[in-house]
Chains A and B, each alone.
Chain A
Amino acid sequence: MNPIVTFRISLASLGANKLRSGLTLLGIVIGVSAVISLMAIGQGVQQSITSRIESLGTNLLFVQPGESVQQGGLGGGAGSASTLTLEDAYALEDPVFAPAVKAVAPEIRANGQVTAGRNNTFAQVIGVTPEYTEVRNAPIEGGEFISQGHLNNYSQVAVLGSTIKETLFANRDPVGQPIRINGRQFEVIGTLESKGGGFFGSQDNQILVPITTAYYRVSSQRTTHGEVSVDSINVQMPDIGVMDEGMMQVATVLRLRHHITGEDDFIITNQQDTIETLQETTNTFVVFLGAIAGISLLVGGIGIMNIMLVSVTERTREIGIRKAMGAKRRDILVQFMSEATLLSLGGGAFGVLLGATIAQLLNGRPLLGNSPMETSFSWDIALLALGVSAAIGLFFGIYPAMRAASLHPIEALRYE
């Protein structure tokens, strides 16, 4: 039998039971559209996370305190004194020992109760240096950023993240207004541009103060040697090409300063590593979503098998007649296989359309938190879904088709 005739016969057979075929089709449509739309959402989330991290700058190294061996072998957990000091940060700017370093921005982090008039909120207070705005890519929206003068004078000035600004001042201009951080009065000198919800807590929910002020007025952690300790040091390189070189130089400087011969008491991570780790995590998430959707596709496939088995039983006599007229096993097999595949492939095609439409409708809508979600529909996923649905049709169609093909013509003709 030629393929066009087979196709026409299959279409006519499916058309004879429109409601039943439609419902069977629906199982596959739901499965495929779930795969497409969930994968689109997953990929969108992945892309927005990656681009958000990349917006911080991929040419960054983060130096963080590691296990502190100087403290009697106790692990340096949260709240314990850091092994990194402000002096370490300044040492990394040395053009002789660390020529690859472009800029350095140390941080001290603390949490604080912030009030302005009657409004109050809880925020992360970060002590920073003037380099922070450039190194961490945190541009000023209004007012000015913290200067070296502020650091020298331990000035009680603060730069507000956009969420804090809205919470405390609503639509009013906060620049020049007084706020209180843990009871101490600060003057607002500027606000930051909104960066959207970050993956590790919102950057918009931060208050930046001069690092010296943070140390003496807010936090006041000291190392065992009485130096000003910092929670992390951001190190910026001129470009991605010198990352490895820069990492070596930073490590060397810190080892010398800390007199380390054995294990390091600091950890250097680079932004690219962070992105890769996160991508692995989000990949798992996307695959997980796909697997859930895949289950519904499997259920759709079982629906096809069920309907094909019913169809074979109902059409036993037809099969007998066809065989008496000279249809071979293969002719009957091909006919029923093509019906099953037509169902699954048709469902797949509708599913791709529906899935793409859903992805398009969800695009730019806030789904999690308040940041808009970007969905990304990709053709390779669509083709994959079509391929999988065709395979499902073949897989679940083969058993009913074999049952049909192996019917004995005499018994099939006698069947009422």
Chain B
Amino acid sequence: MQPATIELKDVTKIYRMGNIEVGALRDVSVSIEAVEMVAIIVASYSGKSTMMNILGCLDVPTSGEYLLEGENVGQLGDDRLAEIRNRKIGFVFQTYNLLPRLTALANVELPLLYGNGHNRRRRAMTALSRVGLADRVGHRPTELSGGQQQRVGIARALVKEPSIVLADEPTGNLDSQSTEEVMAILQDLNQREGLTVIIVTHEPDIAAATRRVITMLDGRVVDDRTVE
């Protein structure tokens, strides 16, 4: 048994909107092992992005503990969180979040600018080849199709060789063929390269591609099943 990569213990996140307190997460306890591929299905929009922000170390829980590879990241400062995002987590966004001014290659190089960044060009090339876009390195995002843009996004998530790929609705803006391509790449990363892949989504269809499915409703975990 490998150690848990991600362990949430009674995590609660409360937002204050004016005088009203909104509980986006309530006592969520989830444990995700290394080399798992997990879909977290969250019905509400706010719950989904909160789950994504907490898991991705973009935000810290109001109460409860978040252990990432054994390290409690719940109480860390902004700069330490930035370091952890840089080293351990690769983000894949629904809207790709590529910088429109930069070429595909420069976009993939972005995480290498921060922290340890030698051999940037070669490492970015390798990551782009990995998603099958070696011939598109000089193109800007506007010159690429949606599927190609998302593959650039995945290459950017991979370039730092993180242990976790965190995908937020990665196929939400894609047609069915591109969706298949993207999901195939994510499955491949999990099975062949041993990356922990977490997909946060509100579409149950996506869950078909993963072995484990966690379902959340109103900020609580209501179902957690693993298909054997």
Q: Which residues of A contact B (CB under 8 A)?
A: 1, 5, 9, 12-13, 16, 317-318, 320-331, 409-410, 413
Contacts and interface: CB of A to CB of B under 8 A. Distances in A.
Contacts of B102: 12
Given A16-B101, A409-B58, A410-B58, A323 B113 contact: no
Contact of B114 (A1, A317, A320, A410): A1
B82 A327 contact: yes
B91 interface: yes
B76 interface: no
13 contacts: A9-B113, A322-B110, A324-B97, A325-B91, A325-B111, A325-B114, A326-B82, A326-B87, A327-B114, A328-B78, A328-B114, A329-B78, A413-B97
A323 B101 contact: no
Given A12-B101, A324-B56, A326-B83, A5 B78 contact: no
A97 to B, nearest CB: 85
Contacts of A16: 101
Given A321-B110, A413-B97, 4 more contacts: A317-B97, A325-B110, A326-B115, A328-B82
Nearest to B86: A326
Given A326-B82, A326-B83, A321 B97 contact: yes
B85 interface: yes
Contacts, number: 62
Interface in B110-137: 110-111, 113-115, 117
Interface string B44-81: 00000100010010110000000000000000001100
4 closest cross-chain pairs (CB), A and B: A326-B86, A326-B114, A325-B111, A328-B82
Contacts of B53: 410
Contacts of A322: 110, 114
A330 B83 CA distance: 12
A375 to B, nearest CB: 44
Contacts of B59: 410
A413 B53 CA distance: 11
A323 B85 CA distance: 9
Interface of B: 49, 53, 56, 58-59, 78-79, 82-83, 85-87, 91, 93, 97, 99, 101-102, 110-111, 113-115, 117, 156, 160
Nearest to B79: A328
A16 to B, nearest CB: 5
A14 B113 CA distance: 18
B57 to A, nearest CB: 9
B21 to A, nearest CB: 18
Contacts of A318: 99
A327 B59 CA distance: 15
B222 to A, nearest CB: 25
A12 B83 CA distance: 25
A320 B56 CA distance: 13
Contacts of B115: 326
A387 B87 CA distance: 39
A407 to B, nearest CB: 11
B79 A324 contact: no
A410 B97 CA distance: 13
Contacts of A413: 58, 93, 97
A134 to B, nearest CB: 76
A318 B98 CA distance: 8
Nearest to B96: A321
B61 to A, nearest CB: 14
B91 A324 contact: yes
Contacts of A410: 49, 53, 58-59
Contact of A324 (B85, B101, B117): B85
A9 B92 CA distance: 23
A324 B83 contact: no
B73 to A, nearest CB: 14
B85 A325 contact: yes
From A9, A317, A322, A325, residue with most partner B Cβ within 10 Å: A325
A332 to B, nearest CB: 10
Contacts of B156: 325
Nearest to B97: A321
B58 A1 contact: no
Contacts of A323: 82
A5 to B, nearest CB: 6
A324 B99 contact: no
B82 to A, nearest CB: 5
Nearest to A413: B97
A66 B16 CA distance: 85
A324 B113 contact: no
A409 to B, nearest CB: 5
A410 B81 CA distance: 13
B99 A331 contact: no
A12 B114 CA distance: 17
A324 B97 CA distance: 10
Contacts of A326: 82-83, 85-87, 111, 114-115, 160
A323 B49 CA distance: 17
Nearest to A409: B58
Nearest to B78: A329
Nearest to A406: B78
Contacts of B79: 328-330
B16 to A, nearest CB: 14
Contacts of B82: 323, 326-329
A84 to B, nearest CB: 81
A323 B111 CA distance: 9
Given A410-B53, A413-B97, A5 B113 contact: yes
A325 B86 contact: yes
B136 to A, nearest CB: 20
Q: Which of B78, B102, B156 has the most CB of A within 10 A?
A: B78
